[in-house]
Structure 1
Amino acid sequence: MDISDSVLITGVGGAVGTHLAGRFATAGRDVVGVSRQPQPESRDFRQLTLDLARPDEVEAVVDKTQGVPAVIIHAAVDGARDEHDLDSIERSFRVNAIAPYVFTRALLERAAADDAECRAVFIGSEAMFHADDASGPYAASKAASRVLTASLAAWCRGRRQSVAYLSLGPLLTPARSTELSALARRLDKSVPEIEALALARSNQDLVIDRFISLDAVADSIDLLLRLGRHGNGTVVRVDGGSAGSLI
């Protein structure tokens, strides 16, 4: 499979990955969307079915891939909230940190061998700054992803490849939007009122009163990609201040 000069996005079965794939496809880019389950045929991107928790599948795809995408975006996520068994925790680490690292490193090395530009963006979560009992394994996997991203950026130093990291806070996904609208109707309040109340109760460090839109996420990705090699090692937080004032 030749994906040269394309955009590779993992997690297109989720809200963020789907939105990013749509934005790039609308802009005329050749998009390869990676997901564990096949996506609806109507979506305007090429599909690659891959379970990032399966080492054999990851290795097989890397071996079969010819060429290097110009852009790699990792939006795949496995939550494992309230799941503390070994299999669930291992899966979370594989999907959120290990597989994206192995997958991207292999493609970056190939790009370097071809002297080709390749820009990778890993999407993380502010959850790593304030883990609780329910989110501990997920938060730890995102922290691992951040460290591995930094190591990839160090490898890119002096090369034509670059790696950046985008940390996200509470998002306005389609599912959350539906929930907020239903709650607003039930309580006879406006949606903005419900949003502000929900955010204030969820985290006292938040300095936003609206959930972060998926367009804001896409705009942040655009910024990181425009930076090119100058953005190698860059960390951008679009988290509403949820990590506190000193991070």
Structure 2
Amino acid sequence: MRKSIVIGASHGWGAHLASRLVEEGWNVTAVGRRPKPELPDTDALRYVQADLTTAHGYEAVERELQEQAPALVVYNAVSYGPRDATLPPLDELEATFRLNALVPYHLLLNHVEKQSSAQFCTYVVTNSDSIYHANKYSGIYAASKAALRVLTTALASACQSHNAAAATLLLGPLADEENFEKLQEIAHRTGADMDAVTRRYLARSNQAYVINSFLSYESCVKNVLTIANLGRDANGMLCKLDGGSSGSLI
């Protein structure tokens, strides 16, 4: 049974991915910050609580990577940082960049250089279409994700001389609980149809979107599985499931 590690898997899309990988026959180690994850109880899935913003949490995940010798690692941990237009303290900005860009690069590059050459490993780094349309509310988060995109390319360069591949899964608006609850509240308050509210929200979020509904978790899973099955051909790959948000020329 192939081993995988999903980092940032206590809830939402990460938890869904960990559960689906088990269904696809993988042995999964799910890593998350929450003490009680939204994960099924199965012998093929093990949960490790670790906060990657701390040295202890980083070291715990580092040990898992070395001991498990996974064939697939998905980095999905994220910090959205300050989400208002005020200027936050510098340490808050640094914390967002640390978790979103510096930690995945350092953690995965360290594993690339230490892993056994006998075990091929695919690294899938989750990124966001926010890098295409930052504003005063999302600028810090978007900048950290743009840095992650560049660092993942550097990681792929390192993989070239090892038995590994690194790819980016760049996602647009997901059908997660937070988005659903926000739009449901608007629909209830205005008396509008939920589908109409969703279409209006997406059109205002990014005029380049060519989708009328949020992207499903299942479509994301299929893309991860495709990347994992490509072997070396996936190295340096940018898989965009972004609803067209980057525009027509990118």
Instruction: Tell me whether the two structures share a fold, i.e. TM-score over 0.5.
Output: yes
Is 1:84–1:137's contact at 8 Å kept on the other side of the alignment? no
Unaligned runs of 5+ in 1: none
Match of 1:102 in 2: 106
What is the distance in 2 between the residues matched to 1:175 and 1:232? 32
Note the 1:151-230 alignment, pairs <5 A: 151-230=154-233
What is the distance in 1 between the residues matched to 2:154 and 2:37? 36
Match of 1:138 in 2: 141
Is 1:39–1:47's contact at 8 Å kept on the other side of the alignment? no
Query: What amino acid maps onto 1:234 in structure 2?
Result: M
Is 1:52–1:94's contact at 8 Å kept on the other side of the alignment? no
Alignment match of 1:91 (pick from 74, 90, 95) = 95
User: Which segment is superposed worse, 186-195 or 125-134?
Assistant: 186-195
The 3 A distance-change label for structure 1 pair 205 and 42 is closer
Q: What secondary structure does 2:88 align onto? A: coil
What is the distance in 2 between the residues matched to 1:61 and 1:165? 20
Query: What amino acid maps onto 1:79 in structure 2?
Result: Y
CA deviations over 1:83-109 (Å, ceiling 9, x no partner): 622221111111111111121112222
Unaligned runs of 5+ in 2: none
Match of 1:53 in 2: 53
Distance apart, 1:170 and its partner CA: 1.0
Is 1:55–1:99's contact at 8 Å kept on the other side of the alignment? no
What is the distance in 1 between the residues matched to 2:162 and 2:38? 38
Distance apart, 1:175 and its partner CA: 2.9
The 3 A distance-change label for structure 1 pair 69 and 171 is same
Alignment match of 1:148 (pick from 133, 148, 151) = 151
The 3 A distance-change label for structure 1 pair 96 and 200 is same
Q: Percent identity?
A: 37
Q: What secondary structure does 1:66 align onto? A: helix
Equivalent residues, number: 243
What is the distance in 1 between the residues matched to 2:31 and 2:220? 18
Is 2:10–2:38's contact at 8 Å kept on the other side of the alignment? no
What is the distance in 1 between the residues matched to 2:245 and 2:117? 41
TM-score when normalising by structure 1: 0.90
Query: What amino acid maps onto 2:53 in structure 1?
Result: A
Is 1:153–1:233's contact at 8 Å kept on the other side of the alignment? yes
User: Which segment is superposed worse, 220-229 or 148-157?
Assistant: 220-229
Is 2:18–2:30's contact at 8 Å kept on the other side of the alignment? yes
What is the distance in 1 between the residues matched to 2:119 and 2:90? 39
User: Which segment is superposed worse, 124-133 or 39-48?
Assistant: 39-48
Q: What secondary structure does 1:77 align onto? A: coil
CA deviations over 1:1-48 (Å, ceiling 9, x no partner): xxx941111111341111101111222321111111222486342111
The 3 A distance-change label for structure 1 pair 245 and 53 is same
What is the RMSD of the two structures over their aligned residues, measured on CA atoms?
A: 2.1
The 3 A distance-change label for structure 1 pair 7 and 239 is same
Deviant stretches of 4+, over 4 Å = none
Q: What secondary structure does 2:166 align onto? A: strand
The 3 A distance-change label for structure 1 pair 162 and 189 is same
